[in-house]
Structure 1
Amino acid sequence: MFPMNPTSVCTYPPSPIQEPYDIGSLFQTIDKELLNAVLNHDLPAAQLYKLDTRRISEAEWHIVDLEDSTVSFRCVPSALEIYKTLDSLLVPLNIYFSILCVHGLQNGQQITLPCHFFRYSSHLVKIAAQYEWHAVLLYHFAFFARRCSEMLQGNYAGWEKIDVDLMEELLLQHRKPQTSDARKATKRR
């Protein structure tokens, strides 16, 4: 057991922050224009990768190459090339949610704001295990667009709901085939 120093006792809930955080100083690796796009709900879901410092930057795609006085064009990578796995989507999405949480809580949003985002992240993990990745990505893009329009009205609760209409439209026909282990588990029930 750790000895407690009476001067370091923590209380819950924490005391209110006296001065608002400068959100730019908390997210120093994120360009100010990009940060504003997140806060104004203008950042499209397909561009979340810009928040992830681990990922390839757009400048490295060499959309136009000028070599030996010739011009060649390369295609911008598709969403499936950028977001190859759940991890490649969740990392920038969590940064996006962190920005919204800090800003929202600082500006009077309910303390439950992060819960909405946690539930959506959990939902993504579940559907990624059940459905083909390309369909999950389409679902996410459509879901994200719907939430952005709601957030413009100050409503963040939509992130925690399951959008049955979108699931029917984009996911159900793309269920992953069951593995033999999953079939055995189903038979045992």
Structure 2
Amino acid sequence: SIRSLFPDVEAAQITAIITHEFRGADLHKLDSRYRDKDLDVFISAEGTIERRNKGEKDYKSFDALYQPLITYFAILAAHIPNQRTIPFVFFQFLIHLQKISKDYEWTAVLEYVMIFFNRRRMEMLESGDYSQWAKPDAALMAEYVYAHRKSPRAGTSGEKAKASGSNNRGPSVCRNWNDGKCTGTGKCPSGRSHVCSSCGKSDH
């Protein structure tokens, strides 16, 4: 049974997943690190009292969200083992998520993920369509993600290579030596090279 494959996941959560009642905001319930945290009690916009697990606030990176997403997809795939393409579309989504999390601010990416998740959930529930997991949602990306590209980090590899190249250059040529005016005999007092500015040799 599916329950035996996922002994650390409560039966109620497995049922919610395979019936497509499981929301993106519930993902923390699949993660033992966060699911047992205390509840926040707050008043919703409609004036009703609602409770939210504090664990939702702990998904501060792609790595933190990856584990419960994998569990969620594994449960769905185990529920419909005869459809071999379904795991593929889930993997495509994870690749997409990993890519955008590298280029854009995580808070924007997380908001996109939660809306994307719930839209796919409704498609699975209403029409049994899993295919859209593999397709980035361009409209949602434009609305929530594209304006939040990460700032370039200081000291990128290109900058480091440029700096390294500058440091590896030899000392500049002594113009005074080339004009016969340098006061240094064996060593240039300015630390420059006593070589010909045209051919780079020092024997003439």
TM-score normalised according to structure 2 size: 0.67
> Which residue type is aligned with residue 56 of structure 1?
Y
Q: CA deviation at 1:57?
A: 2.7
User: What is the rounded CA distance, in whole Å, between the counterparts of 2:118 and 2:102 in structure 1?
Assistant: 22
Post-superposition shift, 1:104? 1.5
The 2-side partners of 1:129 and 1:62 are apart by 31
Query: Paired residue for 1:50?
Result: 29
Q: Distance in 1 between matches of 2:40 and 2:150?
A: 34
Question: Partners of 1:168 and 1:125 in 2: how far apart?
Answer: 17
Paired residue for 1:142?
115
The DSSP-based 3-state class of the residue aligned with 2:152 is coil
CA distance in 1, matches of 2:99, 2:139: 17
| Residues in 1 aligned to 2:128 and 2:112: alpha-carbon distance in whole angstroms | 22
4+ runs of 1 displaced by more than 2 Å? 74-79, 182-185
Q: Distance in 2 between matches of 1:179 and 1:50?
A: 34
**Cα gap change, 1:158/1:75 in structure 2, threshold over 3 Å: closer, same or farther?**
closer
Larger Rg: 2
| Residues in 2 aligned to 1:114 and 1:75: alpha-carbon distance in whole angstroms | 30
Q: Secondary structure at the match of 1:28?
A: coil
Q: CA deviation at 1:78?
A: 7.2
| RMSD (Å), alpha carbons | 2.4
Measure, in 1, the Cα distance between the counterparts of 2:120 and 2:67. 19
> In 1, distance between residues paired with 2:6 and 2:98?
25
The 5-angstrom pairing of residues 95-114 of structure 1 reads 95-105=71-81, 108-109=82-83, 111-114=84-87
- The Cα shift of 1:43 comes to 1.0
Task: Give the equivalent residue in structure 1 for 2:165.
Answer: none
| 2:3 maps to 1:27 | no
Residue 40 and residue 75 in structure 1: after superposition, are their counterparts in 2 closer, same or farther (change >3 A)? closer
Cα distance in 2 for partners of 1:136, 1:166 equals 10
Structure 1 residues not aligned, in runs of 5+: 1-21, 65-73
Matching residue's letter, 2:23: P
Task: Give the one of 137, 152, 156 matched to 1:178.
Answer: 152
Give the aligned partner of residue 133 of structure 2: 159
| 2:54 alignment partner, SS class | coil
Please say if 1:131 is aligned against 2:110. Answer: no
Kindly provide the amino acid, as one letter, of the partner of residue 80 in structure 2.
G
Paired residue type of 2:20: H
1:87 aligns with 2:63: yes
Gap change, CA 1:49 and 1:156, over 3 Å in 2: same
Q: Give how far 1:56 is off.
A: 2.4
Residue 179 to residue 149, structure 1, CA distance change in 2 (3 Å): same
Which residue in the other structure is 1:19 paired with? none
Work out the CA distance in 1 between the residues paired with 2:147 and 2:70.
28
What is the rounded CA distance, in whole Å, between the counterparts of 1:183 and 1:23 in structure 2? 50
Distance 1:130 1:62 in 2: 32
Q: What TM-score, normalized to structure 1?
A: 0.72
